[in-house]
Amino acid sequence: MNGFTILRSVQHYVGRIRTVRNEIRTQRFLNTLPADIRKDIGWPDLYNGRVREN
């Protein structure tokens, strides 16, 4: 394994962590919205459907 491969692996891992943290932050924000607004945008129903498909 050369240094470039290790660096790429670390960058990929850090990118995944960043993505997960951003998703959690977004979920927390959307959960703080009033219930009627969440219903209008389809939260969490549309999100749960999208996550199950992946």
* pLDDT at residue 50 greater than cutoff 80: no
Q: How many structural domains is the chain composed of?
A: 1
Q: What is the pTM of this model?
A: 0.68
pLDDT at site 29:
94
Rounded mean pLDDT, 8-23: 95
Rounded mean pLDDT, 25-47: 88
Cis before 44 (ω within 30): yes
| Contact predicate 3/11, CB 8 Å | no
* pLDDT at residue 45 greater than cutoff 60: yes
CB burial string 24-48: b at 16+ within 10 A, e below: eeeeeeeeeeeeeeeeeeebeeeee
Boundaries of domain holding 23: 1-51
As a whole number of angstroms, the distance between CA 16 and CA 22 comes to 10
As a whole number of angstroms, the distance between CA 4 and CA 10 comes to 10
